[in-house]
Structure 1
């Protein structure tokens, strides 16, 4: 009797590994230094009522990511190529926006890496930023860049979750009140929802996991159920992380501690961690911020460069070179700027809020009218209807982002 082939189990393991890598790449990209800073600031100002904004952002993210991941898997092309095929020239516009937004975001991510190492070891933030960028470059220069990328993203993502859970337990938040206000808030702050959504699913973040799935070969209608589950799992992981981080800071605020929000130099998230767990809490904050920053640097560089396929950057070697240049340029901008990291993160959050509605509009159009690009697949009409609603909402958020950008440029 012939020996059974091990191929199915190997293929299943590869599928699971690819899905897990995509999930954590998207999740860690969505929880960067900007999100951590925004969560601390809004929680200090709104208290338990901010739980509604967290829940609303998660629901919006579910719709956005499900549509982007599923349509990308069905087309088997990167977002820029799909956009060009649907509307000639749209892919070049989307690429320009994502790359510019990714560069801007990476300046803030590198700044976050510097602040994280400063909290851990007292290093000068500029030196810490340079070390973080150098480590990211080293990963992409490695001969096993893909394997290192996946392991680094997954490992740091797990570390972030465990440490934030620890601080949340230490701060003893009013969980019952937070759950109530997540569905029945005392008041609703639409600006908070706008900011959080723009910072967690705007710009390159929308496409990070979807493009990782393409690199793993998880395309076509036969993989659609697995892709759907991965998208749902990724948003669930991100949502849990967001809510636990909120609870960690809420416990501190509810205990009567006042976080300093009065200056750009203030770091409310660091203050909250320190109040919850003393000096050791400050070290934990440093690890969390640095892990969030490094994974976001990697995610921004990887995803932004993946859009350059339409510009002819297709080989692995060419992508690696472009990624190194991308990170090095971001570092050079950070080192040359005198602007406070908090101000950088405000600007890039506003800019990336402009990118989301453009890309989502293109993908919604493809789902409705271009089944030919999806192998003849008739896309789920319920998801498309939800996508259209969220698309209109993101245009509103994009309009608000314009005012944020002009405010930043005027300072």
Structure 2
């Protein structure tokens, strides 16, 4: 158990930035730019809904995991034997597949910055990720790396917004009173922000740091809200930058809408900025995906570092990163597989959240004296219903486009 206040705060902030930067990957940049190009100021409403859903998801999942002191797969197995293994399979396959795109983002970032091939850039990124995970005090090194890269992303996007003069008044008006609501954009960005492994990254990081129990709730809440806040700030800033470019009459390139924003705002200099943002986004998402996916393979009862999971963990991390890098290097990003897994990934959030919302009512899992806030429970079930419907629609659309 974490006893020192500063240590608890540091772990909570590490979890917050890990969750936020897991969400802010190459796909996040592309989605935000593309939907802004399609919907204009009305995309602000989708961002607002996404932020509200994020709050309901993260506060529920982080609190249930940390108060129980158990990872999500263990909670699922205690609720229904074998359910945890199903959840692990969904998370690991989704995380492994999407990590190909994350490491690809790192490679493309190196390509923009230094002109090396994306494949060789991915090799460099994979090597850096391995070093971060395999050094001593790896979790602390990961936390610091993610926080530094987060600061880089935020500062660069703030610069682009500052020189772009976005129509803030128009954006604010359409955020609360949209002229058109696009359901698909809401589903997509919610799934990209708290779907799959991302919603568990912070909670599992808190547990590995030793932060658990009812006495840690204020740190749990603070970490969850900070993570949501950081991801939301980046999304809003990128939205404003894209809106400014569109207001000037510039058409975003559909093949690379995010790069278009930076290029239109600051020319070749801005394009190099985009490369740095893409590199940071790909690297932080690679770290988040690897950490969280591998944490779902931990079914050990004891916390001792002598258990089988802790012995195998370095090799699991090596496999996860090497496999993702090798697939991108030799095959590229398998679009059809990514599309299919992306569609299935839309169902992971409602399934996982429903499991935890049922588990929180069981005293054998949560303890005798914990009572989950009613408003969080109701909020959580509303999200389950909404995302289940949306996820089913995504699966249907995904399979129809493949076959």
- Normalised to the residue count of structure 2, the TM-score between the two structures is 0.94
Q: How many Å separate the matches in 1 of 2:72 and 2:199?
A: 10
Kept in 1, the 8 Å contact 2:122–2:325? The answer is yes
Q: Provide the residue aligned with 2:314 in structure 1.
A: 320
CA drift at 1:384: 0.2
The runs of 5 or more residues in structure 2 that have no matched partner are: 302-306
In structure 2, the residue matched to 1:333 is 327
Q: Which of residues 92, 95, 103 is equivalent to 1:99?
A: 92
Q: Is the 8 A contact 1:91 1:310 kept in 2?
A: no
Is 1:237 the counterpart of 2:230 in the alignment? yes
Is 1:291 aligned with 2:284?
no
Structure 1 residue 404 displacement after superposition: 4.0
| Counterpart position of 1:198 | 191
Deviation (angstroms), 1:315: 4.2
Q: Per-residue deviation at 1:401?
A: 2.1
Q: Deviations along 1:52-96, whole A, 9 cap, x unmatched?
A: 011111110100000000000111011101111112111000000
Q: Which residue of 2 aligns with 1:184?
A: 177
Aligned with residue 54 of structure 2, among 61, 70, 76: 61
- Is 1:15 the counterpart of 2:8? The answer is yes
Match of 1:4 in 2: none
State the shift of 1:126 in Å.
Answer: 1.1
Q: Deviations over 1:126-183 (max 9, x none)?
A: 1111111111011112123122111101111111111111111122111111111111
Q: Indicate if the aligned counterparts of 2:33 and 2:239 stay in contact, CA closer than 8 A.
A: yes
Taking the TM superposition and a 5 Å limit, the aligned residue runs for 1:393-408 are 393-407=386-400
Counterpart selection for 1:117 from 110, 126, 134: 110
Which residue does the alignment assign to 1:48? 41
Q: Which runs of 4+ in 1 moved over 6 A?
A: none
| CA distance 1:384–1:345, shift in 2 (3 Å) | same
Alignment partners' CA distance in 1, 2:87 and 2:38: 35
Give the match's secondary structure for 1:123. Answer: coil
In structure 2, relative to structure 1, the CA distance for the partners of 1:24 and 1:112 (3 Å cut) is: same
> Which residue does the alignment assign to 2:71?
78
- For 1:5, the equivalent position in structure 2 comes to none
Task: Give a deviation string over 1:279-298, Cα, whole Å, max 9, x none.
Answer: 11011111111101101001
Please tell me whether the aligned partners of residues 13 and 226 of structure 2 are also in contact (alpha carbons under 8 angstroms). Answer: no
Matched residues in 1 for 2:230 and 2:385: separation?
26
State which drifts further: 121-130 or 191-200.
Answer: 121-130
After superposition, the CA RMSD in angstroms is 1.8
Task: Tell me the distance in 2 between the aligned counterparts of 1:154 and 1:51.
Answer: 26
Q: Distance in 2 between matches of 1:286 and 1:32?
A: 13
Partner of 1:3: none
